[in-house]
Amino acid sequence: MPKNKLLNITLSVSLALGSFSVFGHGSHSHTHPQSEKAIQASKGIFEESDVKDRQLSDWQGVWESVNPLLLNGKLDSVLEHKAKNNKDKSVEEYRQYYKQGYATDINNIGIENNVIEFTENGVVNSCHYTYSGYKILNYISGKKGVRYLFECQDANSKAPKYIQFSDHIIEPQQSGHFHLYMGNESQEKLLNQLDNWPTYYPYSLTDEQIVHEMLYH
């Protein structure tokens, strides 16, 4: 059934409609054949020389947090799938892991023309962000990750001063979902944040489509 939600984002109607068109199920990243290099990069295996700068437009659109889906049980099939296939955690252990990872009060995000709007408990804060480069992280597992850093340019804004995108992509490409690290202290402080990674999918997707994306893409 279609979602019956109030989108508390003040983006223009054209952006909202455009995001529905761009991000509707079956029309975003996985419809484009991925190279073997891109597939490996999504798993955290890549050469550092292959990492490229990206623009904020790679994340343009209207997005929603998946945290409510975890809390209301709609991601249970995803947890069960992970527990069955990975065998490193039980379903309940995965639930607790993602409760910590997905935790956020920012349920909606809108991005257009380098401006990001954050909707938190019905209140919208926005800021114009500029690119601060990327950082490559080396994890204990031996895998690597890339975070793309941006900084708010309005000292009076109540939006996060520092943000970092991570979406398993290492070169310019429209994102299909992303993890967003947010804070007001410094980029360095955020780079050390490994336990909380609020995750966002296109607002235009139904809950069922988000589950399908998590299971099969």
CATH of the domain at 206: 2.40.128.20
Residue 156: inside a domain: yes
At 59, the amino acid letter reads W
Residues forming beta bridges with residue 65, ordered by sequence position: 200
Residue 61: inside a domain: yes
Residue 126: inside a domain: yes
pLDDT of residue 8: 42
Residue 79: inside a domain: no
Query: Domain count of the chain?
Result: 1
Computed on alpha carbons and rounded to an integer, the radius of gyration of the chain in Å comes to 17
Residue 186: inside a domain: yes
| Residue 27 backbone phi and psi in degrees, to 5 | -125, 10
- Quote the domain boundaries for residue 162: 13-65+103-216
Average pLDDT along the chain, 217 residues, taken 10 residues at a time: 39 35 35 78 95 98 98 97 93 97 97 97 96 96 96 97 97 97 97 96 97 91
Residue 136: inside a domain: yes
How many helices (DSSP H) and strands (DSSP E) are in the chain?
7, 8
Coil, helix or strand at residue 125: strand
pLDDT of residue 146: 98
DSSP 53-86: ---GGGG-EEEEESHHHHHTTTTHHHHHHHHHHH
Residue 77: inside a domain: no
Structure tokens at 120: 């938190």
Sign of CA dihedral 198, 128, 130, 24: positive
Residue 71: inside a domain: no
